[in-house]
A and B are shown apart, each in its own frame.
Chain A
């Protein structure tokens, strides 16, 4: 088994196409870093004095600065470096998020009163309320977590593309190339060519996937540690996570997590999602004679929802549904945590991340089983 696994790994990693695609993606990585270079400024010293409760005076100050800028009819970003502007922005957001918290709680309670108890809708909104109460009133401190915000940004922007491409290019030929190069009859007529080989291929695909997701995570971690000189802010609350002058993606997150906790959760779910997708590609590979066709079919599975939602921003019930349960959203993770979503499971509301995790697990196990069944009964041509 060890020997078989070794050779499967060699076949996976020793492909020129894998190397080429990896290098191309590294170029994209470099480009994203270059494009966002203003972001990579360590402002922890500037932020430090504001690690306290904000007061009305602070809000006023921010307001007057921005009013002054408006009067002079010049944009603030011309006068201030991005990170200083970011601080003003973050101070303003402290006020905003408190107001927003109160408003959403009120809205939820109002909505709750319109539904009869024991209906699903009621339970769902009650769950949202409970989570919001558990989360608590957002603090009125300014938190510094820019290295992490940029790490998450990189995972969000490039993570799906990187892993999607590496999995496609690596796993699509897993079985297809055996068929098209006619090695399959040698495999199938050998002692371990049916059962152990399937396991070896499956393990190899998982190792390959984990290897590349680790490479991406470690690279991102070290690049940002290098650019910022530190990785401050892992203990800060998730709702305060944003890059300089950027949206607070997680301010509506229904969970009270710290940035560090979320990072670990996101890495884990991301890795699981990648493995799930790799298994899906493996399954398609086992029924297709051509790596190219496998590549195209699996590519569309991951790319279409991604293009619809993230690139074209198409909103329609069908696409919404498609997107909710897509591999790309699962691999991306962030959309699972950015707002409250619950699914009706036998009349009870269950949080979407849990449902998605269950669905993906079941589908993946079925696909692994299917691959095994197909290859062990396969007849070569």
Chain B
């Protein structure tokens, strides 16, 4: 299965939220990475068939998804960034409702709903009203509804928001288990969520696709520009003005700081191997333009 994004653009008034994005996706997990307002949600909504591109096309196995209509949505599982619920429904009733929208018959639906509740760890609260759920529980309910119809194309917008570390790990495991025969696209700000499971990262900035690459090769690009130094407050102030600063660690004997720079920024700074966070600063930092 192949999902092809061809030159799509989306314009709001006179602002391009997505501009000429082209990508080719097959089985596996794709992580969409970008700062606030980059256009991640806009792109994902177009993939979920709830938003029409201004121009360009999205095709599944060569067929435009708009023309496929119901048969595309039948293959789709979508978790919006701000997912709404019927607060008066119980978790189970809500999933049963979504299952009927997805065209599952009653028996399959009951089976699938039970399975999903188990999968996201909501079985014990399935009979409670959604209004009594915490934020993380709602998020998990959202994940569960997206997976009800055993989708082949999974589109999730910031699925890990609000999940505690344990639930994050659970989610990551669900993903890696499913990704062998599915196309999974998800956006996140937390790189560690997808660090080990993502096949490719798609870096988006100001509506444009910067890169679609494996994580290792992206890290390779950043090799040689990440420095680590131990400095005092005065030096730190100077460095902050000149360079993009990564992680800062204040200790008793001084400040340990990571600096992104093409050449040695300060005497005593040493090159270190880049982390995913460094990668993020490298690509999404205005002053440190690529």
Given A185-B50, A191-B74: A11 in contact with B106 (beta carbons within 8 A): no
Kindly state whether residue B76 has any CB partner on chain A within 8 Å: yes
Complex Cα–Cα for A179 and B45 (A): 16
Flag the segment in B55-63, B77-85, B200-208 that touches A.
Answer: B77-85
Across the interface, do A192 and B102 meet the contact criterion of CB distance under 8 Å?
yes
Q: Which chain A residues border B88 with CB–CB below 8 Å?
A: 14
Q: Is A119 an interface residue (CB 8 A)?
A: no
Per the bound structure, the CA–CA distance linking A197 and B102 in Å amounts to 11
Judge whether A380 and B51 touch: CB under 8 Å: yes
Give bound CA distance, A7 to B49, whole Å: 24
Candidates B83, B97, B103; contact of A7 at CB < 8 Å: B97
Are B101's CB and A187's CB within 8 A? yes
Indicate if the CB atoms of B101 and A191 lie closer than 8 Å: yes
Quote the shortest CB–CB distance from A287 to chain B (angstroms).
Answer: 17
Which of the listed residues A3, A4, A195 has the most CB atoms from chain B within 10 Å of its own CB? A3
With contact pairs A185-B50, A191-B149 given, residues A197 and B86 touching in the complex (Cβ less than 8 Å): no
Chain A residues with Cβ below 8 Å from B76 are 189
- One of A181, A189, A379 near B78 (C-beta < 8 A): A189
Most B Cβ at <10 Å: residue of A4, A184, A188 = A188
**B86–A379 contact, CB under 8 A?**
no
Contact between A189 and B49 (Cβ–Cβ < 8 Å)? yes
A14: chain B residues at CB < 8 Å are: 88
Q: Complex Cα distance A191/B45, Å? A: 15
Residues of A within 8 A of B87 (CB): 181
Give Cα A166 to B100, complex, Å.
Answer: 27
Report B-chain residues with C-beta under 8 Å of the C-beta of A379. Answer: 50-52
Asked whether any CB of chain A lies closer than 8 Å to the CB of B126, the reply is: no
A190 touches B84 (CB 8 A): no
Q: How far is the CA of A4 from the CA of B103 in the complex (A)?
A: 9
* CB < 8 Å A-B pair total: 75
Chain A proximity mask over B63-82: 1 for CB below 8 Å, otherwise 0: 00000011001101010101
Tell me which of B84, B85, B96, B103 contacts A184 (CB under 8 A): B84
Compute how far the CA of A11 lies from the CA of B101 in the bound complex, rounded to whole angstroms.
14
Query: How many angstroms from the CA of A136 to the CA of B27 in the assembled complex?
Result: 83
Does B98 reach chain A (CB closer than 8 Å)?
A: yes
A195 to B83, CA, bound (A): 21
In the complex, what residue of chain B is closest to A15 when comparing beta carbons? B88
CA distance A3 to B93 in the complex (A): 12
The main secondary structure of chain B at its interface with chain A is loop
- Which A residues lie within 8 Å of B73 (CB)? 189-191, 193
The residue in chain A whose Cβ has the minimal distance to the Cβ of B145 is A186
Give the nearest-CB partner of B48 in chain A. A189
Task: Give B77-121 interface residues, CB cut-off 8 Å to A.
Answer: 78, 80, 82-88, 96-98, 100-103, 106, 109
Return the chain B residue nearest A182 by Cβ. Answer: B84
A4 with B101: CB separation less than 8 A: yes
* Interface: A183 (CB within 8 A): yes
Are A193 and B83 also in contact (CB < 8 A) when A186-B145, A188-B50 are? Answer: no
Give the B interface residue count (CB, 8 A): 31
- Bound Cα distance from A14 to B89, whole angstroms: 10
Inside 8 A of B82's CB, which chain A residues have their CB?
A: 182
* Cβ of A183 to closest chain B Cβ, rounded Å: 4
Nearest chain B CB to A195's CB is how many angstroms away? 7
Residue of A nearest to B73 (CB): A191
Shortest Cβ distance from A161 into chain B, in angstroms?
27
Closest to A179 in B: B84
In the complex, the answer to whether A191 meets B70 with C-beta atoms within 8 Å is yes
Shortest C-beta distance, A371 to chain B (Å), equals 18
Q: What is the CA–CA distance of A193 and B101 in the complex, to the nearest angstrom?
A: 6
Tell me, in angstroms, the Cα distance from A186 to B221 when the chains sit together.
39
**Does A186 lie within 8 Å of B98, measured CB to CB?**
yes
Distance, CA A191 to CA B71, complexed state (A): 7
CB distance from B78 to the nearest CB of A (A): 4
Q: Scoring A residues 150 to 194 as 1 if CB is less than 8 Å from chain B, else 0, what string do you get?
A: 000000000000000000000000000000011111111111111
A222 → B minimal CB distance (Å): 32
Give Cα distance in the complex from A197 to B149, angstroms: 17
Asked whether A186 lies within 8 Å of B78 as measured between CB atoms, the reply is yes
| For the complex of A and B, 9 pairs with smallest distance between CB atoms | A182-B84, A3-B100, A183-B84, A190-B101, A189-B78, A181-B84, A185-B80, A380-B50, A191-B74
18 pairs, CB–CB < 8 Å, chain A vs chain B: A3-B106, A4-B100, A7-B100, A11-B86, A183-B85, A185-B45, A185-B48, A185-B80, A186-B101, A189-B50, A189-B76, A190-B102, A191-B70, A191-B73, A191-B149, A192-B100, A192-B101, A379-B52
Give residues in A with beta carbon < 8 Å to B. Answer: 3-4, 6-7, 11, 14, 181-195, 197, 379-380
**Sample of 16 further A-B pairs with CB below 8 A, known A185-B84, A191-B70:** A3-B100, A3-B106, A6-B100, A181-B86, A185-B83, A186-B83, A186-B101, A188-B49, A190-B73, A191-B73, A191-B102, A191-B149, A192-B100, A193-B73, A194-B70, A197-B101
